[in-house]
Amino acid sequence: MIPLATVIDSFIGAFDFIFHQRDAVTGGDVQVGGLAYIWPFARTQLEVSAVALGGALAVGLPIGLVLGHIGKGEYFAVGFGNAGRAVPEIAVVFLLAALIGIGLGNVALALGILGLPPILTNTFVAMRQVDRTAVEAADGMGMRPWEVITRVELPLAAPTIMAGVRTAAINIFATATIASFVGLSTLGDFITNRSVYGDDGVVAGAIVIAVLAGLIELALAGVQRLVTPRGVKLQRAVRSA
């Protein structure tokens, strides 16, 4: 067991790295650490995650909405999500790097593939859970199919879809850390380059990644609350009362 004082020292050192500049372990007048130094790495990780999530949404959402609306392809949509869980992220990232090369776009493609299953599955399941009587009422009012999707089913399905988006976003952001193995300077750089940043840099990187993941989760939870229709909230309140 490692003595408590050493543990506390590690974390004090890590916070010092986050907030203050210092000489790199490798020396040579190189300054590392401090928020201004860490920010570009965080921005790259956020950027590549945003592109990947956008791509996964652009592909998964329409497919899930259409399949869910017509009620076909359950085996595909749900099985895809279950199979997706078994795929090791690191293998996908490395395989795509070996196949199509490195760079922000290619890493975003790998991350987007990883974000697709939860979005597709949740969208499909959410659409199937929409009250059939609401859909029949919309049909009876003479709405066109895409009006039924966008004005009735999508709002009612929005909370469950957002739950899938949250899972995908956290997955993508977490995996973007690995992108530093394939040459993209994300926050993973601090973890993989102990020879430059020292032990303090490694723990500091881990802290920043965990904090940002928490903030993303909080922000998306807020979005989920915003997109939940008032009627659904009221219904839930009545049910739980």
Partner 1 sequence: MIPLAASSPEAADAANRCAPGLPESFCHQHEVTGCVGGNGLFCFDWAADNFDRYVGPFLRHLEIVAISVVAGFVIALGLALLSHRHRALVPPVLGATGILYTIPSIAFFFLLLPITGFGLATAVIPLSAYTLQIIYRNTIAGLANVPAEAKDAGRGMGMTERQLLWRVELPLATPEVVAGLRIAIVSTVAIATLAFLAGAGGLGQVLYEQLDFKTNIIMVGVLTIGMALVLDLIVVLAQRSVMPWRRAAR
Our finding on whether 47 is near partner 1 (CB under 8 A) is no
3-state secondary structure the chain: CCCHHHHHHHHHHHHHHHHCCEECCCCCCCEECCHHHHHHHHHHHHHHHHHHHHHHHHHHHHHHHHHHHHCCCHHHHHHHHHHHHHCCHHHHHHHHHHHHCCCHHHHHHHHHHHHHHHHHHHHHHHHHHCCHHHHHHHHHCCCCHHHHHHHHHHHHHHHHHHHHHHHHHHHHHHHHHHHHHHCCCCCHHHHHCHHHHHHHHHHHHHHHHHHHHHHHHHHHHHHHHHHCCHHHHHHHHHHHC
- Residues 88-107 contacting partner 1, CB under 8 A: 88-92, 94-95, 97-99
Instruction: Round to whole Å and give the CA distance between 70 and 137.
Output: 16
4: Cα within 13 Å, side-chain hemisphere: 0
For partner 1 (CB under 8 A), the number of binding residues is 46
Binding residue (CB under 8 A) for partner 1 from 196, 224, 227, 232: 196
Residues 191 and 177: beta-carbon distance below 8 Å: yes
Please, what is the minimum distance in Å from the beta carbon of residue 17 to partner 1? 13
Stretch of 6-14, 32-40, 46-54, 122-130 lying at the interface with partner 1 (CB under 8 A):
6-14
By beta-carbon proximity to partner 1, the closer residue of 144 and 236 is 236
Only one of the segments 128-136, 154-162, 192-200, 229-237 lies at the binding site for partner 1 (rule: CB under 8 A); that segment is 192-200
Is residue 64 involved in binding partner 1 (CB under 8 A)? Answer: no
Instruction: Show contacts with partner 1 in window 146-185 (CB under 8 A).
Output: 170, 173-174, 177-178, 180-181
Residue from 49, 122, 123, 193 binding partner 1 (CB under 8 A): 193
Candidates 49-57, 135-143, 144-152, 194-202: pick the segment binding partner 1 (CB under 8 A).
194-202
Which of residues 57 and 202 has its CB atom nearest to partner 1 in the complex? Answer: 202
Check binding of 15 to partner 1 (CB under 8 A): no
Residues that bind partner 1 (CB under 8 A): 2, 6-7, 9-11, 82, 85-92, 94-95, 97-99, 170, 173-174, 177-178, 180-181, 188, 191-196, 198-199, 202-203, 205-207, 209-210, 213-214, 217
